[in-house]
Amino acid sequence: MSWAGRSAGEIASAVRRGEVSAAAVVEEHLDLIARRDPQVGAFRVVRKRAVEEARAVGERRDLADLPLAGVPVAVKDNLEVAGEAMRAGSAATADSPSPRDHEAVARLRAAGAIVVGLTNLPELGLVAFGDSVFGTVRNPWNPSRTAGGSSSGSAAAVAAGMVPIALGNDGMGSLRIPAAACGVYAVKPGAGLVPAPGDDWDGLSENGPLAARVPDLALALSVLAADPTLAESWRAGRRLEPAPRMLRSVWAGEDEVWDAPPPPAEVEPFDLRIAYAPQPLPTGLPMDREFRAAVRGAAETLRVAGHTVVEHERRLPFWLGPSTVATWLSRAAQAADALPAAGRAGGRGLDRRSRALARAGRLLRTLSLDGARGRARWQAYGADQWFGDADVLITPVLATVPPAAGGWRERGFARNAPANIRFAPATGPWNMCGWPALAVPIATHSSGLPIGVQLVAPPGGEPQLLGLAAQLEAAHPLVRPPGMSA
């Protein structure tokens, strides 16, 4: 039996029951990575020691209780993995190994997951494209197109079936953008739910999972959040307390043995007020007509599922766009300036793109135009007023199809900034206010690339997002890229 392409839930259940060893599962996935990644470029490092770590998981006394027992996962290369260098897509970073795991990685490992590799990202995670000094991440649907960014390799690895779950982070859309570009699921949690990246972009950035299935997404989020009530929240759009509670070592619950849940049943009906905004962007920013149609299609699917659905006709306030761009550029300057001066010197310096974005950010900070006032306004009351009385909002994730994969890092500001803004202007507002948002693959564009929609909820709305994503998944099952179905 082949385990590559199977869900994380299926793999973990089989490993817990002794039907397959964690080492065998990992070996099979490493073989698949060796065959597929040369065409995709998702991984900077493939960890051969993962097999040894899988054997150690197989010997754990609590194996039968681990929710992610033996599940291969990929980790974005801007999060610490013990024993591996964290390069963040840059030659200007240190190549010394990290002494310990980031807390999010540690939680995945505690749950039995095996880190099979570190995934590529654009330098310092600054842009929505996937090229860096370590290579170019290509879209598994069309290798001439970008996989999106900045969690580029994580999304591509899941889309190509090389792992069932990956870990990334999102400071202006960096989970949702590549998820939509590659046709997988990803959730940016609300502020404070999951341990944040070491550089959290002044609270803009959150760690979160990507997956090929909504139940796997919910399971991974529950582990990352140390909240077992999220694991089954996709079933009914609300937190569900497992009985008995999970192990303290995994979810910080009571120290009781966990019984695996029964096989997935149909999603339970629940009723939310859902607004849909096919064109939420301010005047002057166009939206692909097929992306607009996908939002309407998702809204109709949820109306048929029993929800109250209304159209949200107002566009995002014009002032929010410049504030979001200024915040992005200011964070680019901050990230570049945080690097050791020696790392930026000579041949080990930053890419031309990063230098240009950082220069623009420094200038804006000098002029006190760093976006802080607009962010505070949106966070305090603007987002809530614009969102209205809906429980969840549906928008497009992207505004155009993914552009060419390579060549961006050696281009300057005039090419990169407008291209990023045109490509993905609909995600940043929800980082600006810290609200949760989830990307759902919903259709296929006439270009042959996937189309994703974005579900957004006020703080605490992750269960509703997962429940709606499960209903959309049931009506529009995920499709793998050509040649990558197993």
Q: Which residues are catalytic?
A: 76, 150, 174
Please say whether the beta carbons of 428 and 370 come within 8 A.
no
- Under DSSP, the state recorded for 253 is -
What CA–CA distance (Å, rounded) separates 72 from 86? 19
Please say whether the beta carbons of 92 and 348 come within 8 A.
yes
What CA–CA distance (Å, rounded) separates 169 from 184? 15
Determine the distance from the C-alpha atom of residue 404 to the mean position of all C-alpha atoms in its chain, rounded to a whole number.
Answer: 21
Cα dihedral: 469, 472, 476, 481 (round 10): -20
Tokens of 115: 């880190």
Region of 411 please: left (phi>0), alpha (psi -120 to 50) or beta: beta
Tokens of 192: 């404070």
Residue 419 CA: distances (Å) to CA of 153, 211, 306, 412, 414: 20, 27, 39, 11, 9
- CB under 8 A, 24+ apart: contacts of 299-307: 299/274, 299/394, 301/471, 301/472, 301/475, 301/476, 302/274, 302/394, 302/468, 302/471, 302/472, 303/274, 304/475, 305/269, 305/471, 305/475, 306/269, 306/270, 306/271, 307/271, 307/272, 307/273, 307/274, 307/468
What CA–CA distance (Å, rounded) separates 5 from 158? 9
What CA–CA distance (Å, rounded) separates 255 from 333? 46
What CA–CA distance (Å, rounded) separates 441 from 301? 13
Phi then psi for residue 289, to 5 deg, are -65, -30
The sign of the CA dihedral 237, 239, 245, 249 is: positive
* SS3 at position 32: helix
Amino acid making up residue 21: S
